[in-house]
Copies of this chain bind each other. A is one copy, B any other.
Amino acid sequence: MAKDKKLVEQITSMEEDFAQWYTDVVKKAELIDYTSVKGCMVIKPAGYAIWENIQAELDRRFKETGVENVYLPLFIPENLLKKESELVEGFAPEVAWVTQGGLEPLQERLCVRPTSETLFSDFYKNDVHSYRDLPKVYNQWCSVVRWEKTTRPFLRSREFLWQEGHTVHATAEEAQERTEMMLNVYADFCEQFLAIPVVRGRKTDKEKFAGAEATYTIESLMHDGQALQSGTSHNFGDKFARAYEIQFTDKDNTLKYAYQTSWGMTTRMIGAIIMVHGDNSGLVLPPKVAPVQVMVIPIQQKKEGVLECASGINDALKAAGIRAKLDDTDKSPGWKFAEQEMRGVPLRIEIGPKDIENGTAVIVRRDNREKEIVPIDGLAEAARRILDQEQADMFERAKAHRDAHTYDAHSPEEFEQIIGEKSGFVRAMWCGSRECEDAVKEKYGVTSRCIPFVQEDLSDKCVCCGKEAKKLVYWGKAY
């Protein structure tokens, strides 16, 4: 039994050292491995399968809104990047440059895409001529490179996987509508599929994307009280269109600049799943995103009929559309339990000689370890019911945690006190000046996460300067 617990004992507890706990889970749940390429990781099968499920669900939701997928080049010529000055200033310090192709030095160096606004704009310039060509609602699934100095698996790495949507529209209104629509797609996806509650809002000018007119964001709260920006949607107005000359002939026969948006979600959401739902036994996956939803674990599997029964249960679950797996390896049941817990499999079904005698099996939930004894007939229906309940409970638990760690500060003093004593979101009024935002960051190490869509008046004074304030802001330490 001591040996059986080894997998678990090797994890640091999250109360002791949250960062080390995170690293332990990422490694022990076999989500990633480090590589010889500094700052880049291998996403192993257990990690990539989560990403595949995220992709499939997001892609389905995108396509329901009319999105079409495309693929644009990995490289951006330096001149093309430079056309939009804010963008190049924002990204220049963190791009990787290709300077040699084959045996020859390049005449113009190419950056490895950190994001593809420039390439999409260059493409749309040739693809859009008339109002009949609009809108274009394109997306690509790819990897991007940002030369980060300090990296952490999934949260910040030199290369990561994402999707980037880039759209072009005839009117500013339509662009704004698409920007908000995609933010809502992200928010619903996080809440319904990943069981992660989010705050929807707008970024301040300081925090918005380089070159954007407005950036919208969903912000989630990790178990340690730090915020994670979980998806962003940008409205560029006609700024890129002017820089890259994307013009079209409108219905009134005049030449107009087009309006653009972009929006992205990345593999960092795997980090969010870990940090919102995980516990000291490892990963806890929401059933909808879990590559394996049920692990069937035979007890005393060498006894006659046990493996056969377990295998029958596995087949019945699969036939009911549940992603089930049978662990018939020669490891001990205790070891298998610990492994299933570490990997975050939402349910396990234990089936041994006594259970078979009784015509029942034991279902154990990963999230709260609740056991239920269920007749073998109808096991698939019970598993489906319990998985649905687990998904719902995980969302409610995460929401309760988020709400319990969201504090209202009505004055600068209260703000200071909360920041000093608590970790979580702090809601407080802001006058709207960049100076106050900078001052808050410098003094307390927290940033404005967003100006939430749902506004409230907590007071009439800025939490920093004390002057008149009209905007409620979520503040927090962020990953």
Contacts and interface: CB of A to CB of B under 8 A. Distances in A.
Nearest to A123: B42
A48 B70 contact: yes
Interface in A296-353: none
A359 to B, nearest CB: 34
B123 A76 contact: no
Interface string A73-112: 1111100100000000000111111111111000001101
A479 interface: no
Interface in A45-77: 45, 48-49, 51-52, 68-77
A96 B103 contact: no
A100 B158 CA distance: 13
Contacts of A161: 71
How many of chain A's residues touch chain B, expressed as a range?
A: 35 or more
Contact of A103 (B51, B93, B126, B127): B93
Contacts of A145: 74
A159 interface: yes
Contacts of A122: 35-36
A102 B98 contact: no
A37 interface: yes
Contact of A102 (B42, B70, B93, B109): B93
A147 interface: yes
Interface of A: 33, 35-37, 40-45, 48-49, 51-52, 68-77, 80, 92-103, 109-110, 112, 119, 122-123, 126-127, 138, 142-143, 145, 147, 149, 158-159, 161
25 contacts: A37-B73, A37-B77, A37-B110, A37-B119, A40-B73, A40-B75, A41-B73, A42-B70, A45-B68, A45-B69, A48-B71, A49-B68, A51-B71, A74-B112, A74-B145, A74-B159, A75-B96, A92-B103, A96-B100, A96-B101, A97-B98, A97-B100, A98-B99, A98-B112, A100-B109
Which 9 A-B residue pairings sit nearest by Cβ, starting from the closest?
A: A40-B73, A45-B68, A102-B147, A97-B100, A101-B147, A43-B71, A37-B73, A99-B99, A96-B98
